[in-house]
Structure 1
Amino acid sequence: MKKKSVRNSRLGLANWWWLALGLVILLTACTVKEPDKSVESDKTAEPAPAERGDWHVPGLVDRSGKPIEVPMPGPTTGRTLDVTKFGADPDPDSKDDAAAIRKALDAAEPGDEVLLPAGTYDLRTTDPADESANIVLRSGVDLRGEGQERTVLLTSFDGEDDSRVIRGSGAQDVIVADLTITSRYKGPLGDDPENGDVGGGPMYGIYLGAHKGTASSRILVENLSIRKFKRHGISVKASREVTLTGNSVSEATAVGPGGQGYGIAIEGSVKQHDPDATNDSRHNVVIGNTFDGRHLRHAILLQFPTHNNLVAENTITGSILDAIDLHGEGEYLNEIRDNTVVGGQRAGIALGNSGGAKNKHDASGPGNWVHSNDLIANRQGVLVILGTPDTLIEDNRITSGDNSRVGIEVRNAPGTKLYGNHITGGTDMFSGIRLIKDRGADGRGKGIPSGIRVKGNVIRKATNGIRIDAGKNLCIMENIFDSIEGDELRVANGIEVSQSCP
């Protein structure tokens, strides 16, 4: 049966739940120590432009703002080719099964399906035409196992540059489903975000990219378990209409700088800012996946000028750095909704990133929409920094934990809107919402919050409610405070705050 398409969840801007109490503005001086946002490096290019062209509505919409359905690959209409008939041995520790899987793929025609019966398939060789990959996908041909933990692809890659278990280059109309991708790596798992010289296994579990400027598209990756990789569990680069759902990602072997330890990464092209290009990265869907973040630098990452993607209904437990990260290279008009992030060591959701000593990142692009997420016991629930503009943050449910510092933190983030968020709990110096100066990254992104709108939020049982230490052109109105131990609203001397938002 053909998979249902994925739509934009809803359109419009603020949906305010609580419109009741006005505020009494308290002008009180205060000083806040600004926590660092971890530095990292990756392949980068010139700073991405802040413009969004003629795209103006976030999420799964077309250029005019009309909701679209992301197309899925069609159902199998032809034969089912069993890899054991081509010489694959599903018993563990066979000589090599990769060659037999490649033979089955070569024999398939569009509409066929290559089946890997339950068992363990040893991948010891690479594709003759692509020494970086064990298996190369063919357009129109599905690759399917018999269950996430019943069919296992076990690669012998161990730290080789750009190594990929499964690669799709300009592939179209393909389903990859119902299997595990892992490696023979026996060393420790990644846990040090400053160490880039450890780890093994393949660089990528699955890598989907463009070929001669043509994107991979109409790809479904479903019900996979991916573990013991070094860089990305699933990497989608310069591609569109890729749906990743029901997958489980964990156990990166490294989490150091330079792009290590990402669970799922959706990327645009480094030097491509043209939405009309055939490899423009948009309309990708990351939905209903699970991440054990104890050995992941980031669970889900968007970077370079990728836009109008949907990240929804994922569950992330723990993360070494920001769990869902818009990586500070112009990512714009993406929708981040209905995710559950629990116990991250940094932010549950972050927009903007400083980059590293070699490669410089800064702001995410304009118009990203972060809403209806459950963010529990992270250091920050949502963090917006380094000049990231025009983010809408609404209707999120943020619950603090013992190590939480702030529910929503806004630094240099012009035009950010905080509407209808519910923030609960918090001890010590915790604040439900905080606006502070951005120190920048070597001068990039330095500034103060400006044009910020904070309306209709509810903060309960917290040490402090809203704390304003820097900013201009600020509007704070119709927020609700309940059982606040310290200050409901604390505004530093010299800062003007309006109670009437346009």
Structure 2
Amino acid sequence: MTKCHIAYLACTAAIIGAGLGAAPPAGAAHMTHVVFPGESIQKVVDAAEPGDTVLLTTGTYRESVTVTTPGITLRGMGRETVIQPSTEKAADRCAEDGNGICVVGTKDRNVEDVTVASLTVTGFAGSGVFALATDGLTVRNVTAVKNGVWGIAQERSVRGVFRKNTARDNGDAGLFLANAIKAEEGAADTEGTVVARNRLEGNRIGLTVRRLRNLTVADNLMTGNCAGVFVVGDENKPRAGALTVRDNRVEGNNKSCPKTARLEALQGSGIVLTGTEDTLVTGNRVTDNAGKSSLSGGIVLFKSFVGTPGERNRIADNQLSGNSPADLVNTDTGESNIFSGNSCGASKPAGLC
């Protein structure tokens, strides 16, 4: 073995030690599989067992990756571990759909306890990270940049944790959570999904929560999007809601976005609730969101796009300033929504501050 090879192995061992801490004791079942640029991530993921870690070293990887085995951790070494689209013909469904990393269960069984962490996904026509039928998925310290649709997206899943990610300049939402993307169904119980301490910047919408219940959105920064947060429901039952949006900074979401088949043109929307029930919006700092859309303003209650009013939503103890046409906007026809304890300068209609 050459001195160069010995030094290379020593360097690799140092990288693994720095990234993962002490090695497991001899005979431990879980393994760490190290992948270098130019090698196939997918082959290593397919060979990994539940509880294993697939560690991607710094560099650029040109492929899409599908995870279907429970308990796997797919981890990079930080933002300089970059996954981009392959220059070759799509080899699987994940790549065919234009996605970067796909974590996918089946119709009958969710894939459990997968972690995606500490890497960048960029340039995909669909989503940087896409998850379907998962239970306990964790996505943390992922940078999703300039993907065509969503930065990080999940549907039909429970108990997810999305923490300390950056989603920037994606075509639609930086972070998109839904019961089902295509089907018209009632809201799904996420069983406590958490979206916390993410930076969502320069997207069409920072965060979209569509037809979901029982989750928390906390301590995130939404800035430079066309809209900061959308919580979306409709006439289907159970209704969307029974969730909390708290302690977020929603600042200067004044990018201008043209209308789409589903949504009018957007600009200057801070936090929007449409067609929801029993949603608590509290402790947020919402500033300098300004536009001329019917959805513009600091915190906006808007009847659903099929005309269903919101019910029993509570907007309380938020700090708002510099939003236009007003800090608080209520065009919802529901009569049981409550505004209380907010610090703000102007509301539409008057009297909500």
TM range (shorter): 0.7 to 0.9
Determine the structure 2 residue equivalent to 1:309.
Answer: 215
Determine the structure 2 residue equivalent to 1:374.
Answer: 285
Q: Which consecutive aligned stretches of 4+ in structure 1 deviate over 6 angstroms post-superposition?
A: 157-161
Tell me, yes or no, if the aligned pair for 1:79 and 1:112 is still in contact at 8 Å. Answer: yes
2:125 match: secondary structure? coil
Identity of aligned residues (%): 27
1:80 to 2:32 alignment: yes
Cα deviation for residue 163 of structure 1 reads 2.1
Cα deviation for residue 150 of structure 1 reads 1.9
CA-based RMSD:
2.3
1:241 match: secondary structure? coil
Determine the structure 2 residue equivalent to 1:203.
Answer: 126
Tell me, yes or no, if the aligned pair for 1:267 and 1:281 is still in contact at 8 Å. Answer: no
1:298 to 2:218 alignment: no
Q: Where is the strand percentage greater, Structure 1 or Structure 2?
A: 2
Tell me, yes or no, if the aligned pair for 1:374 and 1:398 is still in contact at 8 Å. Answer: yes
Quote the Cα distance in structure 1 between the aligned partners of 2:335 and 2:175: 28
Cα deviation for residue 236 of structure 1 reads 1.0
Determine the structure 2 residue equivalent to 1:154.
Answer: 84
Quote the Cα distance in structure 2 between the aligned partners of 1:223 and 1:204: 16
Ranked by relative contact order (alpha carbons within 8 Å, sequence separation 6 or more), the top structure is 1
Determine the structure 1 residue equivalent to 2:240.
Answer: 331
1:405 counterpart (322, 325, 330): 325
Quote the Cα distance in structure 2 between the aligned partners of 1:274 and 1:151: 36
Quote the Cα distance in structure 1 between the aligned partners of 2:248 and 2:128: 23
Q: Where is the helix percentage greater, Structure 1 or Structure 2?
A: 2
Cα deviation for residue 110 of structure 1 reads 1.0
Quote the Cα distance in structure 1 between the aligned partners of 2:46 and 2:159: 25
Quote the Cα distance in structure 1 between the aligned partners of 2:348 and 2:244: 23
Determine the structure 1 residue equivalent to 2:249.
Answer: 340
Quote the Cα distance in structure 2 between the aligned partners of 1:263 and 1:250: 6
1:106 match: secondary structure? helix
Cα deviation for residue 79 of structure 1 reads 0.9
Quote the Cα distance in structure 1 between the aligned partners of 2:137 and 2:65: 19
Cα deviation for residue 327 of structure 1 reads 2.3
Determine the structure 1 residue equivalent to 2:161.
Answer: 243
Letter in 1 for 2:44: A
Tell me, yes or no, if the aligned pair for 1:337 and 1:373 is still in contact at 8 Å. Answer: yes
1:233 to 2:151 alignment: yes
Cα deviation for residue 413 of structure 1 reads 3.0
Determine the structure 2 residue equivalent to 1:164.
Answer: 99
Letter in 2 for 1:397: Q
For structure 1, the residue ranges without an aligned partner over 5 or more in a row are 1-74, 90-96, 124-132, 184-200, 211-215, 255-260, 353-362, 425-431, 436-465, 468-475, 480-502
1:103 match: secondary structure? helix
Quote the Cα distance in structure 2 between the aligned partners of 1:77 and 1:323: 44
Cα deviation for residue 414 of structure 1 reads 2.4
Tell me, yes or no, if the aligned pair for 2:152 and 2:175 is still in contact at 8 Å. Answer: yes
Quote the Cα distance in structure 1 between the aligned partners of 2:80 and 2:47: 24
Cα deviation for residue 77 of structure 1 reads 6.5
Tell me, yes or no, if the aligned pair for 1:237 and 1:281 is still in contact at 8 Å. Answer: no
When Rg is computed on C-alpha atoms for both structures, the one with the higher figure is 1
String of CA shifts for 1:458-496, please: whole Å, max 9, x gaps: xxxxxxxx35xxxxxxxx8xx7xxxxxxxxxxxxxxxxx
Cα deviation for residue 271 of structure 1 reads 4.0
Cα deviation for residue 272 of structure 1 reads 4.0
1:175 to 2:115 alignment: yes
2:41 match: secondary structure? helix
CA 245–77 in structure 1, closer or farther in 2 if over 3 Å, else same: farther
Q: What is the total number of aligned residue pairs between the two structures?
A: 286
For structure 2, the residue ranges without an aligned partner over 5 or more in a row are 1-23, 106-110, 255-267, 291-296, 304-308
Letter in 1 for 2:198: N
Cα deviation for residue 328 of structure 1 reads 3.4
Determine the structure 1 residue equivalent to 2:311.
Answer: 389
